[in-house]
């Protein structure tokens, strides 16, 4: 983009008594960014104005300016001034001439792994500077990364939805703010977010920078939900030596996600042309191991790489109902069968009714049989194993016994069923025992979280033992009742607490 001269600016609006607006550089849901000239100092600038009909709160623009003013860093956009425009605040910022990373990708240009690593280092430094000020960006994506054409400098911009740690992911108007395909799972679930959420977004951005698009883009809300909760990452070969760092950044559990210091070391090595260290090598997921290998692999997994990822390019705002659905997905019932005594591993079981299964030993301290090829994912203290076709889900949760015990948990879940599960019906809760231990069983039918998913039936059992509540549940399409019953009975029969 060429710079403006005086004749080109003739007749363009003057705001703040000194800033002459020029061509439009970009537009989002809340406003427009234009090239402008500071006529007092004779320098080019960029001006971000809010659209009158966007519903944007003027206070948000002022907050963005204050946030950016706190984070002074070469790779963070500089805000020079705030002036009034059409009764709304307008931000006057440095002009980074060269377009965004999104512009470059849209033109069919991608970065080499080494170029992407250098970009990642710049953005990691910018984010670290923000995090040191307790600022979360919350919208790290290619459109918010400017690339200066003369110097190659990367600049992180648009802190419009930045927040302090612990801030809710919902705005005052009740909508989700952000770009789902670059947003960490914990934010999409409405949970508290921290610096790790921005690092997850950086991992997704590095994938896009080297391949041309986010690997989590989908074309429907249903696919977005499925990707968030169940899908694993399979990095493109184009990432080359970036694969280990991307896998670490795209760890679904924020507590085990790659931290900034280690990410910086790995990115620096890649930028320098070094091959990944042996300890950084890609570790196969449970899906890639054969029968009987799960137990041996579980202890050696450096990081779990079955990462359900946020996907699809949506509008800036997604209805709050989507967030509620995402939370409901992760809050699918959690119950289980009592730990068995005796042998430290579950005895081999025959393949029931032709449904193939395999035994897995999980690092959370249990083993059981799940559908063959099942993909593992986690949500806090919940662990999920999902069949390769995504239809059958086995869930496990182990936690201290809450007030009310097993029956209290099931009754509370049943009471909130209509709110948590679309089309909730035929819910039954029964107090029972498991090997003489207090237990409860809950069953219900519901319509699934998407029309594609369809009606489902869930069997859920939990029991108490030695101050611990063991939960195990199986959810499957109503059209597959025989498999649902077999999967549930087999999981309960094979469940063994290993104390990992």
- The pLDDT of residue 162: 65
Query: Which residues lie below 8 Å from residue 130, measured CB to CB, with a gap of 6+?
Result: 71, 73, 76, 136, 137, 159, 162, 198
The yes-or-no verdict on residue 480 having pLDDT over 80 is yes
Range of weakest confidence among 17-21, 33-37, 66-70, 488-492:
66-70
- The pLDDT of residue 67: 75
CA distance 374 to 393: 9
Q: Count, in order, helices (H) and strands (E) of the chain.
A: 14, 20
CA distance 459 to 71: 51
Reported confidence tier of residue 222, pLDDT bands at 50, 70, 90: low
Query: Which residues lie below 8 Å from residue 55, measured CB to CB, with a gap of 6+?
Result: 30, 173
Q: For 134-166, what is each residue's pLDDT tens digit?
A: 888 888 999 999 999 888 899 998 876 666 444
What average pLDDT score do residues 435-452 get? 84
Residue 442, Cβ neighbours under 10 Å: how many?
24
* Structure-model confidence comparison of residues 70 and 387, the more confident one: 387
Q: Which of 38, 60, 97, 139 is catalytic?
A: 139
* Structure-model confidence comparison of residues 391 and 2, the more confident one: 391
Query: Could you tell me the domains of the chain?
Result: 6-94 (3.30.200.20), 101-300 (1.10.510.10), 331-497 (3.40.1000.10)
Give catalytic status of residue 81 as yes or no.
Answer: no
- The pLDDT of residue 37: 94
């Amino acid at each position: 983009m060429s710079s403006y001269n005086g004749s080109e600016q003739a007749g363009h609006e003057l705001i703040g008594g000194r800033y002459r607006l020029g061509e439009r550089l970009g537009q989002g849901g809340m406003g427009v960014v234009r090239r402008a000239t500071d006529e007092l100092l004779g320098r080019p600038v960029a001006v971000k104005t809010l659209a009158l009909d966007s519903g944007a709160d003027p206070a948000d623009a002022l907050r963005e300016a204050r946030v950016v003013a706190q984070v002074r860093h070469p790779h963070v956009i500089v805000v020079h001034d705030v002036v009034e425009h059409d009764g709304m605040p307008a931000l006057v910022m440095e002009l980074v001439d060269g377009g965004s990373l999104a512009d470059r990708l849209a033109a069919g240009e991608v970065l080499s792994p080494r170029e992407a690593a250098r970009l990642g280092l710049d953005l990691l430094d910018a984010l670290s500077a923000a995090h040191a000020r307790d600022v979360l960006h919350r919208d790290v994506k290619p459109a918010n990364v400017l690339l200066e054409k003369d110097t190659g400098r990367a600049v992180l911009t648009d802190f419009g939805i930045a927040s302090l740690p612990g801030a809710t992911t919902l705005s005052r108007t009740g909508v989700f703010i952000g770009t789902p395909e670059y947003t960490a799972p914990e934010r999409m679930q409405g949970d508290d977010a921290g610096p790790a959420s921005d690092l997850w977004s950086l991992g997704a951005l590095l994938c896009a920078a080297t391949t041309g698009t986010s690997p989590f883009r989908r074309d429907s809300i249903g696919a977005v939900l499925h990707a968030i909760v169940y899908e694993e990452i399979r990095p493109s070969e184009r990432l080359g030596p970036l694969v280990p760092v991307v896998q670490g950044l795209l760890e679904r559990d924020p507590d085990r996600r790659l931290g900034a210091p280690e990410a910086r070391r790995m990115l620096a090595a890649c930028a320098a042309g070094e091959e990944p260290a042996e300890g950084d090598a890609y570790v196969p997921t449970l899906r890639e191991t054969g029968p009987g290998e799960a137990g041996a692999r579980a202890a050696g997994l450096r990081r779990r790489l079955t990462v359900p990822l946020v996907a699809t390019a949506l509008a800036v705002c997604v209805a709050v109902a989507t967030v509620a659905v995402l939370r409901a997905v992760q809050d699918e019932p959690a119950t289980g069968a009592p730990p068995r005594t005796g042998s430290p591993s579950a005895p081999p079981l025959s393949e029931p009714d032709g449904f193939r299964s395999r035994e897995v030993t999980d690092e959370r301290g249990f083993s059981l049989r799940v559908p063959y090829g099942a993909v593992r994912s986690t949500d806090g203290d919940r662990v999920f194993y999902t069949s390769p076709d995504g239809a059958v889900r086995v869930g496990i949760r182990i936690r201290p016994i809450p007030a009310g015990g097993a029956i209290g948990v099931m009754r509370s879940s049943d009471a909130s069923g209509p709110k948590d599960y679309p089309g909730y019906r035929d819910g039954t809760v029964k107090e029972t025992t498991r090997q003489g231990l207090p237990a409860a069983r809950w069953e219900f039918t519901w319509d699934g979280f998407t029309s594609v998913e369809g009606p489902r039936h869930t069997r859920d059992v939990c029991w108490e033992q030695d101050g611990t509540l063991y939960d195990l549940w199986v959810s499957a399409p109503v059209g597959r009742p025989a498999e649902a019953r077999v999967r549930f009975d087999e999981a309960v029969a094979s469940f063994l607490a290993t104390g990992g």
